[in-house]
Chains A and B, each alone.
Chain A
Amino acid sequence: MSGFFSRLSALFGLKKKSVKVIMVGLNNSGKSTIVSLLKSDGDKNSEIVPTVGLNIEHFRYQQVLFTMFDMSGQGKHRYLWERYYKNCDGIIFVIDSSDRLRLAVAKEELNLLLKHPDLSNRKIPILFLANKMDVREALSSVKIANAFGLEKIKDKPWHIFATSALTGEGLQNGIEWFTEQLSQGDVYT
């Protein structure tokens, strides 16, 4: 009964939805910068340092309360990602579109993520952010989608957006789509 009411209230936007989202991607791809932009509060960190382990951030976007697990992308900390797969409602995968060398590494990490037993059978949205689009040698989002073989992901809703975490360009569209996907799913409590 209570479940029915909570759904009803959610439908009318009375109750806040709360989602857990993990943010992954290789080091130096701009995850923490994106999070600090999304928080969009006054105390923006001017200097973003490489994350150690992970940071947890809370912010609200369109009546949805996000709990963001900003994971460290360093090789030695990437093994932590999978511990948060089980309880997450959505994944944001950040790609440095100017780092052509490590595109293959990012693809490898994505494959590991998709194959992980905690995620392989769940229909959770994945938002790909092709970051650093402002850099001159950056690849377009279409090229990255092709290189990653994203069209092969059939069981999960996904979308790729070219973004620039420095200016905030493209981020709004991305997070809007993501919030929509999260609201559609039966994920609120």
Chain B
Amino acid sequence: MTTTWEASLAYARPRTTIQMSRDENPWIDAFNDPKADLQTFSTCIALSDLHADDDHKFVLADFGNGIQVKLKVYKGTSLSAELPLLTQPCAVKCVYTDRNEPRVGGIIVASGANVLVYRNCRPYFKFTLPPQECSGLEAEVWNDISSADQLVQILKDLSLEIGFSNLSSPSQNLMLMAPSLRDEYISSRTHFVAKKEMVITCMATLNKYAGSEQDVSVIILATECSQLFVMDPETFTLINEFKLPDVCCNLCASGIYLVEYCIVLAMRNGALHSLKMSQLRFITHLTSHAVSLTIIANKVFTANMDSTLNCFNMKGRKYWAIRLPDNPLHMMATPLPNLALTLIAVNLARGNINLYNDSHLVYVITTQEPIHSMVFGRYGQEEHALLSIAASGTLDIKLLKRTAQFYNDYKFGTQNYVKPHEIKFLVPKKSKLFLEQSLRERQNCKDIHTWFNYTWTSMKLQVSESYIDALHNANVTQNDALRIIVEVFGLGPRMKIRTVLQNMSQSAIPMNYKVTFVYDARLYKIHQPVIKVPLMVNGIAYSLETLVTCQAQVAGVVQVLVVSNKVILTATVNMPDSAGILE
């Protein structure tokens, strides 16, 4: 007998008796691997159900200290697959490339002009953006002129005219090449192709048919040639193309491609444009470049390099801007449908991840070191997982508690910070003596105050008197009273150091002083390393001598120290070059 009580789900959700207290951490520290040694950017990480087993994997392009770029797939707490990549990717995304069952997701890697597709952790398809045609003038120049210097000169003129970035790839290569290599390069290019390779700057995905999570997504690619392409992964063809006013360096897409969509593009000149149903519109010009941007409920959020978080509507009206405590490294949306919230997570240059609900700070995840990349979404069986990679390559996985709550009036640092008036001191109990004393103070307060003032004034007077006294009878200190002159005689290798000491003080008679030397034993040999100073009478110069033999033909430094039980005076002697070495 089986009864399924779906009806019980209709209970109103807020009736939970378990509520998280305000100070409690809403995140569970599930896993931390300091030895993961991962280096990547937030654009190169993604979460997806790659094997249609309802166990979401973590995909990232690890730059591997610049030696070997690898595509890594994490399952749970361990690495499950590793694929080498030939070039450094600019973006990694996970999408469904077809509508077949079971729903096996594909990994899309954008790198240079190529879009690589992996399925089941194996290479599946390679798509290359068609190269751009360049001006016919360039081809003529290449065909007519065979001398390298001449060609470079004409290409330089051409680049001034049409811009270096509009030249074809061979021309660009030639101009950037060392002059000695140019001739060989030209001779190897017998057939010149006036085409320019595309370079993908950024990539985004957009659902194609429906809003569901498992829908096929189209891939939006922006290139260095100020173009925007829409690629259909079902057929691996470009289905749309847009010319942009400038190079797009950051984009975010929302909606459904075949129904209604909106793409927000951040240009390299700081402009923000939107693309809605094939119509490009100018939104606004940012005062400072956007580090990342996202669309939440028809609002555009940008984290800028001037440490601000901004919110605009699609028409460019600014709703608000808040100051971030530090420079942002990345910003992303963290949708929490069970709380009906979409938070904005910003990782900051000096550590910490701040979570904002609109303009309100709702939580700060403190981190020991700056977080370089992060991603939020479904991981493993867990709905709300935050995966972050720190500067040292540490992989950290945090899971959101089921009972988590975020409050707009969150104050960072309240948990560990005790207000000064709340600090409790260990005050001992009032003794009988204390009570008597306080009683006496209350009764004779006037007398006590007068007496206190009198003694206070007399103490100040005493201090002033002794100060004046000290000014008049000031004695020179011992250090000033001793004068030192150090002389070096000879050309080397044997030299003589003469130290002349003179006692200038009339009252003090220094005793038990010694002269010693600090020197490099490899360079010099000092025959009498310690010289006793006789009792020094005021005004008479005492001369102390020692022989020095140079061990090497290098000019060094010898420090002369006058010591008693402490160092009293030092003098540094720059030794002259030695004329020769005695064997």
Write out the residue numbers on chain A whose beta carbons fall within 8 Å of the beta carbon of B367. none
- For chain B residues 1-15, which have a beta carbon within 8 Å of chain A? 1-6, 8-9, 11, 13
CA of A99 to CA of B379, assembled, Å: 12
Known: A56-B2, A104-B30. A117 touches B17 (CB 8 A): yes
Residue A26 at the chain B interface, CB threshold 8 Å: yes
Write out the residue numbers on chain B whose beta carbons fall within 8 Å of the beta carbon of A27. 381
Write out the residue numbers on chain B whose beta carbons fall within 8 Å of the beta carbon of A54. 4-5, 8
Q: Is the CB of A26 within 8 A of B9?
A: no
- For chain A residues 63-83, which have a beta carbon within 8 Å of chain B? 75-80, 82-83
Residue B382 at the chain A interface, CB threshold 8 Å: yes
Residue B458 at the chain A interface, CB threshold 8 Å: no
Chain A nearest Cβ from B54, distance in angstroms: 8
Residue A189 at the chain B interface, CB threshold 8 Å: no
Write out the residue numbers on chain A whose beta carbons fall within 8 Å of the beta carbon of B29. 104
CA of A105 to CA of B383, assembled, Å: 12
CA of A58 to CA of B18, assembled, Å: 29
Q: Is the CB of A105 within 8 A of B18?
A: no
Chain A nearest Cβ from B456, distance in angstroms: 61
Residue B403 at the chain A interface, CB threshold 8 Å: yes
Q: Which of A9-17, A108-116, A122-130, A166-174 contacts B (4 or more CB under 8 A)?
A: A108-116
Q: Is the CB of A52 within 8 A of B9?
A: yes
- For chain A residues 45-60, which have a beta carbon within 8 Å of chain B? 52-58
Residue interface mask A141-177, B partner, CB < 8 A = 1: 0000000000000000000000000000000000000
Q: Is the CB of B3 within 8 A of A101?
A: no
Residue B380 at the chain A interface, CB threshold 8 Å: yes
Query: Which residue of chain B is the closest to A100 with respect to CB atoms?
Result: B77
Residue A28 at the chain B interface, CB threshold 8 Å: yes
Q: Is the CB of B2 within 8 A of A78?
A: no
CA of A44 to CA of B17, assembled, Å: 36
- For chain B residues 394-429, which have a beta carbon within 8 Å of chain A? 397, 399, 401-403
CA of A75 to CA of B336, assembled, Å: 12
- For chain B residues 424-478, which have a beta carbon within 8 Å of chain A? none
Residue interface mask B311-353, A partner, CB < 8 A = 1: 0000000000000000000000000001000000000000000
Write out the residue numbers on chain A whose beta carbons fall within 8 Å of the beta carbon of B403. 112
Q: Interface on chain B toward A: helix, strand, loop, or mixed SS? A: mixed
Known: A82-B16, A102-B399. A57 touches B1 (CB 8 A): yes
Q: Is the CB of A56 within 8 A of B77?
A: no
- Other-chain residue from B2, B16, B18, B31 in contact with A100 (beta carbon distance below 8 A): B31
Q: Is the CB of B399 within 8 A of A105?
A: yes
Write out the residue numbers on chain B whose beta carbons fall within 8 Å of the beta carbon of A117. 17
- Other-chain residue from A56, A101, A109 in contact with B397 (beta carbon distance below 8 A): A101
Q: Is the CB of A28 within 8 A of B4?
A: no
Q: Is the CB of B381 within 8 A of A99?
A: yes
Chain A nearest Cβ from B53, distance in angstroms: 10
Write out the residue numbers on chain A whose beta carbons fall within 8 Å of the beta carbon of B76. 99-101
Residue B154 at the chain A interface, CB threshold 8 Å: no
Write out the residue numbers on chain A whose beta carbons fall within 8 Å of the beta carbon of B5. 53-54, 56
- Other-chain residue from A28, A58, A109, A116 in contact with B402 (beta carbon distance below 8 A): A109
Q: Is the CB of A80 within 8 A of B381?
A: no
Q: Is the CB of A52 within 8 A of B6?
A: yes
Q: Is the CB of A104 within 8 A of B28?
A: yes
Chain A nearest Cβ from B35, distance in angstroms: 16
CA of A80 to CA of B8, assembled, Å: 8
Q: Is the CB of B381 within 8 A of A102?
A: yes
CA of A84 to CA of B402, assembled, Å: 18
- Other-chain residue from A56, A79, A104, A137 in contact with B399 (beta carbon distance below 8 A): A104
Q: Is the CB of B9 within 8 A of A53?
A: yes
Q: Is the CB of B381 within 8 A of A28?
A: yes
Q: Is the CB of A82 within 8 A of B18?
A: yes
Known: A57-B2, A112-B403, A116-B17. A101 touches B8 (CB 8 A): no
Query: Closest 7 interchain pairs by CB?
Result: A104-B30, A104-B28, A101-B76, A100-B77, A53-B5, A101-B380, A56-B3
Binding site for A on B (CB under 8 A): 1-6, 8-9, 11, 13, 16-18, 28-31, 54, 76-78, 338, 379-384, 397, 399, 401-403
Q: Could you pull out 24 A-B pairs where Cβ atoms are within 8 angstroms?
A: A52-B9, A53-B5, A55-B2, A57-B1, A75-B382, A78-B402, A82-B17, A82-B18, A83-B11, A99-B76, A99-B380, A100-B77, A101-B30, A102-B30, A102-B380, A102-B382, A102-B399, A104-B29, A104-B30, A104-B399, A105-B382, A108-B28, A108-B402, A112-B18
| Given A101-B77, A101-B382, 8 further pairs, Cβ under 8 A | A53-B4, A75-B382, A76-B338, A79-B13, A101-B31, A101-B76, A104-B29, A112-B403
